[in-house]
Amino acid sequence: MIACLWAPSLPLQALLRAEPELRGQAVAILEQGQVTAMTFAAARQEVRPGMTATAALAVCPHLTLRTPAREIVRAAAAALADVAYGFSPHVEAAEPGWIYFDASGLGRLHETAQDLQKAVLAAAQRVGLSVRVGIGSGKFAAKLRARWREVVVGVLPVEALEPSPEAASRLARWGVRKVADLAALAPPAVGRRLGEEGARLARRARAAIGGQTRGDDPLCPAPAPLRFEEAIELDWALYDVESLAFVVRGLLERLVARLHCRALAASALEVRLALDPRGMHEIQVPLRAPTRQVATMTTLVRLAVAAQPPDRGVTGIAIVARPAPPATDQLSLFDPVPPPPETLQATVARVEAIVGPGHVGSPQVLDSHRPDAQRLIPFAPPRTAAATAPAGPHKVVALRWLPPTEELDALAKVQGARVTAHAGPWRLSADWWREPFERDYYEVRTVSGAIYLVCRNLERWQVVGMFD
């Protein structure tokens, strides 16, 4: 059992998919100076294929004439293939807009061919494409049903079998007008009169009517591509991040729809900005966990672009998503439910945009004798509770580091009347092999009751911290 997906007028559909605001309007595709496809609104205004741009505008003054970029047509074709890969791993991408996939074995999921058809149509609609679906015993039978929307193939004209003009005229002279008429003839006999083409046409007709795979073209599946890219060319350059984010959101929505078809999620994004007049600005946006949340990814891309802004206007945007299986968590019944990793990442990215890169994360104590040896590492809380129960809070006095400007310029200030008690010194030395660090530390209590950590480096005194 083979299913065939046909996206009629793929360039037009690709354009409407990339620019959904054009849906419902009179739009026509212009290729090599001629109209090749148009929307229903344009067709109602008497716009026809083959018209020149001038002629089309003469009959429909509000017509939008566009030539879609190759990137968006390629993305639409890839989206069509993704729909098929969502149903079967055996997919053949034939000529542009035509996809075949092996539908055998799908009976457990979709009881009837109509159910499968509805599911494919719904999946195609999710990626922004309008398709026709045909299901048959072989590729050609499926193609006939998709192309001609007929369940009974026998009533179709012989032209549906795509004969050459010579073969078509001879069949017409014989009075063979329908597929069923040709199927009634023996292929060897037709072959003797019409040659190899006649035999092939007769075999196709028999296969299409009789539900036989013999005689039909074999399915040539290709490995599923794992490249997810959506791109758009802009009519004019964009200079601000918010406008870019608006366009990026549309691209991500289309990417996520395609990933959803394949039961995948994005684990990283690569944003390529085409600059005005030429040049490329690339930004990598790693994602903490594979996600399909458009809002989160839009936020992360917006923050990444704001952190590494292009130096010129942007005339085109392409986003490549690195696919990965969606993250699944085994949560505990007894512990607090952690927020989704992508939400946390968006929060951290937003905070980082405020306080600057490198100033957000989990604190980590470094293995050093320097009392201030600490750093921040990326915030990645475990998704599950610790295997062992926590030891519970240990009651210590917290130290608060003070800005290095707070200095005690003389020993007298430490030993003066303001100090009521002191302890120390403790000599700490570290990093002798790199940047020698040697200080004497004191803990002093002032008359106000506050306890400070004071250090002496040579003859220089400094208040470095306060016990709080």
Q: By three-state DSSP, how is residue 269 classified?
A: strand
Q: How far is the CB of 350 from other proteins (least distance, A)?
A: 5
**461: burial class by Cβ within 10 Å (0-12, 13-18, 19+)?**
buried
Q: What are phi and psi of 261, to 5 degrees?
A: -60, -35
Distance CA 172, CA 164 (A): 12
Q: Which is nearer to other proteins, 216 or 342 (CB)?
A: 342
The nearer residue to other proteins, 278 or 398, going by C-beta atoms, is 398
Question: Which C-beta is closer to other proteins: that of 398 or that of 417?
Answer: 398
456 touches 444 (CB < 8 A): no
Q: How far is the CB of 388 from other proteins (least distance, A)?
A: 11
Tokens 């999710």 belong to 126
383-391: list long-range contacts, CB under 8 Å, 24+ apart.
Answer: 383/329, 383/331, 383/338, 383/341, 384/329, 384/330, 384/331, 384/332, 384/335, 385/332, 385/334, 385/335
Question: Under DSSP, is residue 280 helix (H, G, I), strand (E, B) or coil?
Answer: strand
CB of 392 to other proteins, least distance (A): 6
Residue 51, judged by CB atoms within 10 A of its CB (0-12, 13-18, 19+), counts as buried
Q: Which is nearer to other proteins, 366 or 417 (CB)?
A: 366
User: Is 294 strand, coil or helix?
Assistant: helix
Nearest approach, Cβ of residue 22 and other proteins (Å): 35
> At its nearest, how many Å lie between other proteins and the CB of residue 458?
19
Q: CB-wise, 175 or 403, nearer to other proteins?
A: 403
Residue 229 or 443 having the CB closest to other proteins: 443
Q: Rounded to the nearest whole angstrom, what is the least distance from the CB of residue 425 to other proteins in the complex?
A: 10
Q: Which is nearer to other proteins, 236 or 334 (CB)?
A: 334
Residue pair 428/438 in contact by the 8 Å Cβ criterion? yes
Q: What is the DSSP-derived secondary structure letter of residue 111? A: S
Calculate the alpha carbon distances from 177 to 5, 161, 207, 364 in Å.
26, 11, 17, 81
Between 354 and 417, CB nearer to other proteins: 354
* Minimum CB distance to other proteins, residue 371 (Å): 6
Q: Is 336 exposed, middle or buried (0-12, 13-18, 19+ CB in 10 A)?
A: exposed
β-bridge partners, 271 = 283, 319
Nearer to other proteins, 283 or 385 (CB): 385
Half-sphere exposure of residue 63: CA atoms within 13 angstroms, side-chain side:
28
Give the binding site for other proteins (CB under 8 A): 332, 334-336, 338-339, 343-344, 346-348, 350-351, 354-356, 359-365, 369, 371-372, 374, 376, 379-382, 385-386, 390-403, 421, 423-424, 426, 428, 441, 443, 445, 449-451, 453, 465, 467-468
